[in-house]
Amino acid sequence: MKKSIITIGIAFLFLSSFAQEKYGIVAKTAVNEVKVYLDGAEITRFYTANLKAGFNEIKFEDLSPGLDPKSIRIKTSKEVDILSISSNKNYLVDNQLSPQISLFSDSLKVLNDMLTNLQDELDAYEVEKQVLYKNQQSLSNDNSMSITELGQKADFYRNRFIDINKIVSKIKQEQEFYKKLISKISNQLNALNHKSNYVRSEVVILVSAKNEITTEVTLKYMVSDAGWLPGYDIKAEEIDQPITLIYRAKIFNATEIDWTNTLITLSTADPTKDASKPKLSPWYLNYKNDLNTKSYNVNLFNEVAQDASQKQGDQDTILYGYVNVNQNDGKLIQMSELSNEFKIETQYSIPATANPYFVDIDTYTLSTSYIHFTAPKKDKGAYLIARITGWEDLSLVPGFANIYFNDTYVGQSLINSVSINDTLDISLGRDNKVQVNRIKQKEYSSNQFIGSNRKETFTYEIVIKNNRSNPVKIAVLDQIPISQDSEIEVNAIDISGATFNEIDGSVKWELKVEPGTNENVNLSYSIKFPKSKPISTQKYSFKNSRFL
């Protein structure tokens, strides 16, 4: 017996020489910094740890369930060795709801209980009705009752059925009311990104310290379900003043963890790139649109989805940077290969509601020249175009801009920062102070028959009136038809000194109109064709009509 005790003691001493005490620390941290990418975000948390000499286990709790284990990075002092890093999901953590979500959740439980009670009442009255029906049937077979007694019984059943039907009708109305209320509260909880299956990630770090030490531990990791999109406000007061460009970011946080008073950095880099050395692929230049990608009719942040090959007017307008993709991937943005970062100096709070929140990046005053554009054959409006220079140094990301002119919202425009032009053209909408009219001159227009041919002559006068107090430059665009048949002959008679493109038939004037004056230009052309082969000498457009 004594020998056994000695053996056990020796074994215990032998094992204890290898075993060391492991000191456990639960790190309660907040989100201190966030680097938000176009798709995803890098979270940074700081924790000051008081470590004992030997092994220390630090557990970071209440982290986003979308944490990517492969992205975990730990930084601490040189006196501390990091032995292992692991992560897991905690399904047993208490659901720590925000006050608003907690209120809605509690209300939902109360309403569902009330709905259950109403259904119990309804079932009880239905059972009573069935009993009354059976008793009523047995009453008709009872010959021992007098006529007076029978009448009294009949009155009782009739009145009771009426009472029950009224009560049942009222209960059903209450049920419909509560069902609609439950539906509204459920939708609101969905809007607040509330999830009934409460899950949190945890990161456990095993470190070794030679001596007792207080050190700061930095935890970084990537999360999904977050990102940002650019947005702009462009404000112009007058056509002789520079433009103000307000650069904003629309940030969404669906990570289930609020970012409260957090330092935010926006990045256009791709966080999914691996650590291998980069490779350059051939760079081909051509005029083909390489954005003809299939469109899936998706729209992120309730933005207006745009097709990359959308046509506007008579020209193909390639909306660089926007291609619709499927809902999970969001919207693709064509970017410069050189990534940019924008550090937001002010701390922001972004709740985890998945709703977009705006963050101001910067405000710029830009040198701007203005030109008006009109195509009166199609639209008699004069559109004001701001031509911005120096925008290349602003690191703009392709995105939509809200346009304001004279403190009036005039619509949205696309900022195409991928363009290689040294000027950025922004449409400020119609300028009602510049009036344009295109008038057909009947006395100079004719329809003649010459032998076997028919000749039609068209003459128009285009009048531009400047009601502004300063001169305006305006580009006026019209067209002359192009013949694609040797039997059809088109001749330009008068274009008032305009530039004429014989390939596409466009006629363009660039005019300067002084304040309070008019400028007139003329357009005249003829079309000759065989009268036995009539053609349409007018260009028509088709529009939907509500009524026939």
Domains identified in the chain and CATH numbers: 20-93+200-223 (2.60.40), 99-191 (1.20.58), 226-274+287-430 (no CATH), 434-530 (2.60.40.3680)
**pLDDT in the model for residue 536:** 74
**pLDDT in the model for residue 194:** 59
Residue 173 main-chain phi, psi, to 5 deg:
-65, -45
All residues at 6 or more sequence positions from 235 whose CB lies less than 8 Å from its CB, including other chains: 243, 244, 245, 246, 404, 405
pTM, two decimals, is 0.63
Q: Is 505 left (phi over 0), alpha (psi -120 to 50) or beta?
A: left
Residue whose C-alpha is closest to residue 319's, from 413, 387, 229: 413
Residue whose C-alpha is closest to residue 37's, from 268, 355, 335: 268
C-alpha 314/C-alpha 378 separation (Å) is 10
**pLDDT in the model for residue 478:** 93
Coil/strand/helix, residue 317: coil
Q: Each residue's pLDDT tens digit in the chain (548 positions)?
A: 444 444 444 444 443 443 445 678 999 999 999 999 988 999 999 999 999 999 999 999 999 999 999 999 999 999 999 999 999 988 876 666 656 777 888 888 888 899 999 999 888 888 888 887 777 666 666 666 667 776 777 778 788 888 888 899 999 999 999 899 998 888 887 776 556 567 889 999 999 999 999 999 999 999 988 999 888 898 988 888 888 999 989 998 988 899 999 999 999 888 776 555 666 667 665 544 443 333 322 233 333 323 333 333 333 332 222 223 233 344 455 555 556 788 998 899 998 876 788 888 889 888 888 999 999 998 888 998 888 887 777 778 888 888 888 888 888 877 776 665 667 788 888 888 999 999 999 887 888 888 888 889 999 999 999 999 889 999 999 999 988 888 899 999 999 999 999 898 999 999 999 999 999 999 999 998 888 887 777 766 665 655 54
**pLDDT in the model for residue 444:** 78
**pLDDT in the model for residue 541:** 61
Residue whose C-alpha is closest to residue 254's, from 302, 176, 193: 193
**pLDDT in the model for residue 451:** 85
Q: Which residues pair with residue 151 across a beta bridge?
A: none
C-alpha 43/C-alpha 48 separation (Å) is 17
**pLDDT in the model for residue 467:** 94
**pLDDT in the model for residue 335:** 53
